[in-house]
Amino acid sequence: MSRATAPVRAPHAFIRAKARVTQRKYSFSSTAARASKFPAVSFDGLTPEEKASKALVNLFTMAATRVILDQMSGTRHRSPMFNKIVDYLQEHPLRNGNEWLAQLMAHEELDYRLVAVRIIETRKALAESEFDYEHMQEAALKGITEENLELSREYLSCSLDADEHVDDLHV
C-alpha cells in the first residue's frame, strides 16, 4: 500500500497508543510492586533492582581488581604487572566496571588483557559464591531504619526548637 493510499489513523488511535506507552513506562517491575500497587520507579529507564545490579557489577569489578592486585603484590616477589595496573587505574579510573574491563581487554599488550581475564573470572566467583546477598539486604534495612530514626529525631528536635522560639516571641 502506498503512502498516498494508506489509511489515516484517527486521533483516538494515537491517544490509545500513547496510553499503552505510558502504561509500559509505569508498569510494575516485580511481584512485590504489583502486590503493593506501587508503580515502578525509573532511574534512567532502569528499575531500582536493575540500577542496584549495575552498582553491584561495578563493586564486584573493583573488588576483583583489588584481589588480583593483592595476588600480584605477593610477599616474596611482586609481579611486574602490579605497578602497570596501578598506573593504568590512575590513568583510567574504574567508574564503570564493564567499560573499564573492555578498555583493558583492548589494550595492545597481552599482559593487560590477561589481567582483564583474571578480573572477569574473579568478579564472577565473588558474585556467585563469596558475596552474602542476605547480609547486604539486612545491612541495608538496618541502615535505613537507623537513618530514618535519626532523621526523624532531628526533625522533631528542630520542630520543637522552632515552637519554643515562636512562643518566646509572643511572650
Considering the chain, what is the average pLDDT of its residues?
80
Query: Each residue of 136-150: pLDDT tens digit?
Result: 999 999 999 999 999
H or E element at residue 39: none
The reported pTM is 0.66
What pLDDT shows up at residue 145?
A: 97
Query: Each residue of 67-123: pLDDT tens digit?
Result: 999 999 987 778 899 999 999 999 999 999 999 999 999 999 999 999 999 999 999
What pLDDT shows up at residue 111?
A: 96
> For residues 18-57, b (16+ Cβ closer than 10 Å) or e, as one string?
eeeeeeeeeeebeeebeeeeeebeeeeeebeeeeeebebb
Pick the CATH number of 48-131 from 1.10.260, 1.10.1200, 1.10.3470, 1.10.150: 1.10.1200
Cell numbers linked to 34: 504489583
